[in-house]
Amino acid sequence: MARQLAKNALVMVSATEVGSPATVEALASWDMDLSCSEVDVTGIYDANKQYVPGQGDAKGSFTVILDPDSDTLDVLETAQKTQALVYLFVRLNGTGAGKPQIKAPVYVTGWKISSSSDSRVEVAVTWVAGGDLDHTAQAEV
């Protein structure tokens, strides 16, 4: 089994569901949580607790080195200010026909700019799912 390198992964964004997404430039780190809830279905006569998976969830964050000329940061900042839905694409193996991707309609819920003396300026972006995730492989590019 091959190990996955972060340098091959892409986080991309689009203001619309159709068209080509743009890569989030100067990405410093990212995470995506696809956990689901656990529903307790324990009956009164059960010897042990019992659970079944509940509804899925999707949320995450990423940190970007600030670039005032970044078009993707403009899309994300506008989405956060206007509470508009945008589309996030996570491509763990890069771009290419048949390669896996996760396409998620998301709301940008957090926008935090930070820095300190003698360091870069970063934007920490948090997001939550705004609809069903699409795990369909990439089409022809």
Please write the tens of the pLDDT for every residue from 94-121.
889 999 999 999 999 999 999 999 999 9
Q: Which residues pair with 30 in a beta bridge?
A: 62
d(CA 32, CA 90): 9
d(CA 110, CA 63): 11
Check: CB of residue 85 under 8 Å from CB of residue 130: yes
Count of other CB atoms within 10 angstroms of residue 23: 14
pLDDT in tens, 46-101: 999 999 999 999 999 999 999 989 999 999 999 999 999 999 999 998 889 999 99
Rounded to two decimals, the pTM is 0.86
d(CA 138, CA 99): 6
